[in-house]
Amino acid sequence: MLLEYLELGKIVSTHGVRGELRVQAWCDSYDFFSSFEKVYLGKEKKEYTVDASRPHGNVMLLTLSGICDLDAANALRNTIIYVKREDASLGDSKYFIAELIGCNVVDADDESIIYGKIKDVTNTGASDIWHIVKDGKTYLLPSIPDVVKSVEVEKDIARIKPLKGIFEGAEEIRED
């Protein structure tokens, strides 16, 4: 499902006394994090202009217009940072994990075979793992090219060729 706003990270602390923010980034790279000129904070999605950002150890440091001192920065601790989906660009055949949540998972060869809906995604380091729920049961599916054949988040659909044994009866569905 395409979202209007995507979570970029969370403000976890301050850095220095001039309003710089320490951010736990929830994206893959510094380049992606630093590509935004505007961010939106909190549930109300208050807009801020990004003055600067830079990596610092395992966090990002972020300077926002209007946040100029320690008190203003401290007031933003534990605030979620969002970006507008329309401002975030990905290459073809790429998608944001948050937009996978709720997608229907179907068989790549026969879309009438529905495996369930994606309820969560975790990362093991080797690959993302999709948590697919159907009839109250959760199935764990590795998001690897041999399994995931296509994803269309704008249509809420992911087409897969499951590995044997992941879904009950998967052996009868696919022998290859």
**Global pTM?**
0.75
66 lies in which domain range? 5-85
pLDDT in tens, 88-102: 877 666 788 888 999
Percentage of the chain beyond pLDDT 90 is 72
Please give the tally of structural domains in the chain. 2
Boundary of a domain, candidates 85, 119, 145: 85
Compute, in degrees rounded to 10, the torsion defined by CA atoms 43, 123, 114, 146.
140
What does the mean pLDDT of the chain come to?
Answer: 90
How long is the chain?
A: 176
pLDDT in tens, 92-137: 667 888 889 999 999 999 999 999 999 999 988 788 999 999 999 9
What is the CATH number for 126?
2.30.30.240
Q: Which residues contact 174 (CB under 8 A, 6 or more apart)?
A: 161, 162, 164
In a shared domain, residues 10 and 74: yes
